[in-house]
Structures are given as structure tokens and as C-alpha cells.
Structure 1
Amino acid sequence: MESADRNHIENQVESMNENRIESLLENLASARILVVGDVMLDQYWIGDAKRISPEAPVPVIAVQEEEERIGGAGNVARNITALDGVCTLLGIVGQDQAGRSCEKIASDANINTALEYDGTIKTTVKLRVISKNQQLLRLDFENSPSAKALAAILDQYRHLIKRHDAVILSDYGKGGLAQIESLIEVAKENGKPVFIDPKGSDYSVYRGAAMITPNLVEFESVAGVVQGEQDLETKANSLIKQYDLNQLLVTLSDQGMKLFDAKTEAIHVPARSREVYDVSGAGDTVIAVMAMALSAGLPHAVGMELANSAAGVVISKLGAATASRHELSAAFTKDYRS
């Protein structure tokens, strides 16, 4: 972030009392976001590894706890409702127990669901085996949805988009966004900004989006290896022009995040010191908060600071997690006053 911008925001936050901070978060919660993309079930088997198997040189896990969370686009939606925002989740699941679990978990998290049940597939599941807070193994069960289910999603999308302020397309490369160009076009026809968490190296499918939010590895897979700050800016502005993007937000791990806009100077928000527990899902948090902040009319720099603080909360937790409104309030205040 440019120093003048940062000083201005720091001065604003420094003068805030608890009521004013809550007013800011109330603004954030006014957003109505439609999340579309790859919905999956995250399963966690947690236990102790106290011995090695006599059958092979691998640890034996005595499973003591099992947990299920909604993942992928579902985790983006969960981040929105955790901050009291209004969210509808649109995606495809199988006609199986995992699909029903996704529906229930989403409903319990106050997410409005518009899930399409596809009888030709099984719900995408990621099963993680964990011991002493360390992930030892991940098993993925996945397949692509049918053309019929994708068509049904597009039909629902045309109706749902009118009731929302913005769209997040959460692309995990599982096939749920096979018609992404059509989704972007419908959003533009309805005057709704599209925020995209990208996947893969073909950004041509994201043409016309309001904002895409790759991490540095994802960015380099498209633009090439970055050699310093100036090269990052040059490559980012080139992608913005090439793919007709409004903005590009690159998350830079321990270097924070940087927002590029063809019309204004770049904004950089440095990372705050955190105890990193698990970075999985931090990207979901960033795009959720940015879409909420901009939909609520907050300045880009303030949205980035809120996203930065929320991501800091999330990486201190195990697995794909969320930041509650109370946690974000405390972290945001601490980040500015530390």
C-alpha cells in the first residue's frame, strides 16, 4: 500500500472506538454474495500415531475423532456467513451421503443453498488423516459433473444473480465451472461484478472479470517467474490488459498482498506476524472478504486490510476455517495498533 493510504487508514482505525469498528463490520455484513463453483466435502480423521504397521513401514493411526466441513466453494460461502453476510451457494453434488452432508453443513452455517444433485457422479470428497496437528495423508475422490447438471446450474444462476450484489466464482478445477464464460457474461448483463479465485494456467476463460485473486504460485504459472517488485507489476498489468480484467489481487504469503489496477497505482498490504498453523483455505477467506467489502462500498485498501486480518485468523486454525465477526474485529484492531 502507498504510505499515504496506509497512514490515512491507520489514523482512521486508531481513532475508532468499539462502536465505530462494529459499524464498519456491520457495513461488511450488508453484502449479498452469490458463490458458484466446485462444492466438496472435507473430511478429517484425527488420531494418534504411536506405532508402525507390521505389514508395511507406515504409521498406524488410531482414529479418535472424525469431522466434516463443507469445502471448496462451500468454504468461501462459510466465510461470508461467518461474518454475518448473506450468501447463496450454487453448485453440484452427487446424490449420495456426502452431498446430503454438504447441504446440511451449509444450512447449519446459515448459507442459502441452491445445490444441484447429479445422479451420475459422486460428491467430491477430500479425506485428510491428521496426527498431532500434522496432516499425514490426503485422499481425493472426484469426478466431473454431467452436462445436464451444468445446464441446470446456469438456469438457476440466471434467476439468483438478480437478488445479489456480486458473484464469486470459486474454481477448484473439478468441473463445476465448465461454463465459466457464460457465467461471467450473464453477470455483466446484470451489472454484477465477478470475483474469481482462479485455477490452472488458462486465464482467457476469466476474461472480463472484476477481480481475480491468484496466489504467487498460481500467478507465476500464467505470467512466468517474478523477478522483483517491478517485474511483478509489469506482469500483472500485462495480464489485466490481455484478459480485460478490472483488477488483479496477488496474495504473497508472508509478503502480504498486492492489488493491481490499470487505472491507478498498485496497493500493497504487508502481512502481519502470525503463528501459521495451516494456510489451506486462506485464499477462500481473502476473496470472500474482498467481495463483501467492495459490495458494501468500502475502499479497496480497507477491504484488503480486513481480508488480511481475516486471513491471519484463519491460518492460525487447523484446516479450511473461517473468522467470526468477533475474531475479525479483534484481529483488525490489533493489526493496526500493534
Structure 2
Amino acid sequence: MQVHEIFRKAYEVGASDIHLCVNMTPAFRVFGGLSFQEGEKLTPEGTLAMVKELTTEAQWSLLSETGDIDFSMSIPGVSRYRVNIFLQRGCFSIAARIIPKDVPSLEALQLPAVVRWLANQQSGLVLVTGPTGSGKSTTLAAMIEHINQQFSRHIITLEDPIEYLHEHGRSVIQQREIRADTKDFSSGLRAALRQNPDIILIGELRDLETIHTALTAAETGHLVLSTLHTGDAIQTINRMVDVFPADQQGQIRVQLASVLQGVVSQRLWLNRERSERVAVVEVLVNTPAVANLIRTDKTHQIRSVMQTGGTYGMQTMDAHVRQLVKAERLPESALSSVIRWTENSDIS
């Protein structure tokens, strides 16, 4: 079977991911579980042919040099895919994430109304966090599309790779891919500040320099949207601060307390019918009380503020799980699982 046929079939059966590896049949991730397809096992020669079919000459050269590569691609009339190709035990493997053709709306994702409020802000820092595969990129894309439809803004995105493709609406959207359009997040972000943006989306805050520049951008009147692989709001704030040397952390707390607008932490859970995944969402809004706790290094007290902050749109993850169970959208087993999530929320 040709690789494009495999990609098409995965889309048709509603898979979220595709895994192609030597000595096994293609595997699709459907509702969180792996489903192995019928047919012959893949061979080293077969996977090599697939890799060469998927990559350009420049991508093949980079893959040969580094042993792995990320890129995005489209199959016309089917879908977009985020592809990672890598060497393991001397043979190529392919992992691909299926990206819907259309950018979903915030309403379609059934996210709390406060997420729309965060997207409406003119400056500051908004973070979307969670483990790999929790829908962070989709939430950010929906926020960008909301802005695009509602406001006249200049938006620059830095993505690795570009997933959703945005068309210009009321806003001008410039999408830059790491390695293809700019060297890395840090250099792309520095360049973006010279390109007269209103909004900057950074695919991931990966290092000290990128975090520092993002804070400065938010401080100088830009709205900055980004992600971290942290499990909840408190872990997110601590991670942002802990990246810096001890003698700088006090100043970073002050800066973060000033620019942070909010943190949206999410996970995906199978619904009661096991027919679709539901977003479980925690939201922190940076009120004066929260800002004071960040400044004074008392982040352990933020959870109690969130538990009583419903007026501001705040909610904890366990509270949202209880709400979804009560509404019969999640199974009862989710209640015990969320306890484990909150006890072990640093999932980087």
C-alpha cells in the first residue's frame, strides 16, 4: 500500500495518529488506543520508499544528516498531516498526526467562555498547556481564528511545523515555520518584534531565551500566545520561573505577575459512549490576588483562589471533571483519574 493511501485510510476511519514501523503493519490511534491494520508487515525497503515519497530533496538531506525531521503536508481533498520521520535501529519510522482541514471554532471545541475573553485581550501572555496530544495546538488555532474573524490585527505565528492553515479574514496572518522560514523560535521571535505585530503565537516556550523574549514582548504591548508541556496552572508558573537562574527569579516573578493574562490547561478524555474525546479544562485568570501570589512566590496558594474564582471564569480541572460527569459526558471513572492528574501534574 502506498503511504498516501495509508494516510487517506487513517483519515477516513477517524484516527488521530499514524505509526509506520518496520516489522509491523500500519497502526492507527483511534480514541486513544492503537489499532493495527490488516495486511503485510512493513519492510525496511518499504518504509524507505515511503520516506522518499513524503520528503522533498531538502528534507531528505536534513533527515540523512540529523536522523529525524518534522514537517507538515497536505493531501488535497483529504486532510493535513504533521509528520515526524526518525531512525530507529537503523531503519526509518514514521509518526503522523492528522490535522483537520478546517480550523475549529471555540464554540465547536466547547471551551469555557473565558477562553474567548483571553483571546480578546490586546496585550499580555496567554498560555495553553497539557501533555502531547491534549489539543493545545487546536485550541490556539481556534483562538487565532476567533481573533481573525473579530478584529483587525497583524498576527505572526512561529510553528514547528505549521499545522492549521489560516486565511486572512479581518486580520493579516503570517505563518512562519521553524527551519523552513526561520532558524528557531528564539530568532523568529526576535525578528517578529521588528515586524510590527499585534499578536505573536509561539508554538512552544522551549528555552530561557525564548521565554525571556516572550515576557518582554508581552510587556511591550503585544498579545503573546504559547504552550508549555505542564499539567496545570501552578506547574506552569513554576516552570516559567524555574528556567531562570536563582538570582533572576525574583524579577521574573514580578514580570510574569504583570504580563500574564491567563493559563488554560487541558487534557482529552473519552466520553461515556467512547465515541469522541472531550476536553477537560482548567483555567487560571490573573486577577490582582493571583498576581500578588506570583510576585511573592506563594503559587501553592493559587489553587484555593481558583476554587473560589468562578466569577472570573476560573475553574480547576477536578471541578470540570465533576461537572462533565454530572452532565453525563464523562464516565464515573474520570473522577478517580483526575485525582492522579492533579497529584502528578508536571508531565514534561
TM-score (norm: length of structure 1)? 0.30
TM-score (norm: length of structure 2)? 0.30
